[in-house]
Amino acid sequence: MDKSKTFDLSKTGLTRRTALKGLAATAGLVTAPGFVRYSQAQSSAPIKIGFQSHRTGIGAAYGRWYEKTTAAAIKAINAAGGINGRQVEVIVEDDGTDPGRGAEVVGKFATQHKTDIVFGTLFSHVVIGSAPAAGEAKIPYFVVSEGHHVASTKLNRYVFQPGITDVKSQIQSMAPWIAGNVGKKVTMIFPDFAFGYDHRDYLPPALKAQGADVIAQIAIPPTESSFTKYFPQIPAETEVIYHVMVGPAVLTFVKELGEFYGSNRPQLFGFIDSLEATDINSPGLEFLDGSHFWEGSPRYAQADDSEAQKAYRAAVGIDDNGAAVGDPKDVSTAAHMFGCWETLYVVKKAMEDAGYKGPEDRAKLVEATEALTAFAEGPEHPQGAKTFNGKIHQCFGIQNISKVEGGKLKVVHKTKIEDGLYEAEGDYTTQAL
């Protein structure tokens, strides 16, 4: 095996059931001389993680990179000895980015594959549709979703989001910068489903507190393939267009927005979701120059990147432009996929704290996760330090605001953890296990 190459789950030909076992260490993280396969080296059964993947549907681009990141993290964890001395196996099922199918997948992991936990989901409507199945089966469900649904405490005690911040926190962190640097009369364009509703609900009050106003809100179906018909709804007095679109037509969205306005446009502030997995240098996107985007973890390598960030990027196989090493057209979902890496290390920590041995210890795992309070920046958490609120099962971290300059995204502002903190809306720990 060429140890210089990152293990790519999507190119192995594996389909519904995928086993990721001990491989050589990824660049800059850990080395394991003489490391051998699980069956040769261990006498105990592996820890099984059910990966709920968006292999098809509108989330497919995210699903592919979530799998790559998960593969890299499991590779590093197994090379360092696994969890509680046991290797980790990942079993993949496609949820089609569909809530009904998502619930079926969670049930399948619990009853057929008998995995220890379920992990990985991004799209919020899938999380919301799947969470009841996790609660029913009493199987811990670790999502990398970004929506406020977990922190709202409207789901159940078995659902956690410990590796990526939620929209409410993100918006609260960035609203002062938007109002102070971009404009005060804002029109929102957002997807017409749960994730978009978080933006719809939390941006107006956050901007209002900074002396700015949302003057129009335009909801667009996430499966829409053309957007020009929506743009005449943007009021003429708009100073800022705040956009956060998702799905396979994001390139069309930003191109048509540019065609509609030409060079005379309002300021643009976008969540990178509107451009995830899309080359910022694609023809027709020149109008984005000078605009700003939110990024969880920066797509482009930055001058001040930490050694942990460099090692993480090498491990998951992205170059300085955030594309797959060796394939500049395969642009990553860097702003979100880091959450898979970090969540798996949270799972590792919680399982070790709980002395986790098997499904009979799931309640202990839930309590051990709830007892966590902070994650230090480093190889396990390369995006940055985070705090964790066990009552709402949600982490809080820093946000990046980046500017498009010369066909690249350059970070111009980083928020602080405390900028995104808010009062808990409930307490999962009061629910029975």
pLDDT in tens, the chain (433 residues): 333 333 333 333 333 333 333 333 333 333 222 333 333 334 489 999 999 999 999 999 999 999 999 999 999 999 999 999 999 999 999 999 999 999 999 999 999 999 999 999 999 999 999 999 999 999 999 999 999 999 999 999 999 999 999 999 999 999 999 999 999 999 999 999 999 999 999 999 999 999 999 999 999 998 899 999 999 999 999 999 999 999 889 999 999 999 999 989 999 999 999 999 999 999 999 999 999 999 999 999 999 999 999 999 999 999 999 999 999 999 999 999 999 999 999 999 999 999 999 999 999 999 999 999 999 999 999 999 999 999 999 999 999 999 999 999 999 999 999 999 999 999 999 999 9
Angle at 159 between CA 136 and CA 113, to 5 degrees: 60
User: 267-271 and 292-295 as β-strands: parallel, antiparallel, unpaired?
Assistant: parallel
Locate tokens 């957002």: which residue?
Answer: 190
Tell me what pLDDT residue 402 has: 98
Tell me what pLDDT residue 263 has: 83
Angle at 426 between CA 294 and CA 344, to 5 degrees: 55
Q: Rounded to the nearest 5°, which phi and psi values hold at 187?
A: -110, 130
For residues 377 and 374, give the distance between their C-alpha atoms in angstroms, rounded to a whole number. Answer: 10
pTM listed for this prediction = 0.89
- Give me the residues paired with residue 116 across strands: none
Q: How far is CA 370 from the centre of its chain?
A: 20
Tell me what pLDDT residue 197 has: 97
For residues 166 and 394, give the distance between their C-alpha atoms in angstroms, rounded to a whole number. Answer: 8
Which long-range contacts link 360-365 to residues 24+ away (Cβ below 8 Å)? 362/116, 362/117, 362/138, 362/139, 362/140, 363/138, 363/433, 365/117, 365/140
Give 235's Cβ-side CA count (13 Å radius): 14
Amino acid identity, residue 389? N
Tell me what pLDDT residue 248 has: 87
Locate tokens 């999962």: which residue?
Answer: 428
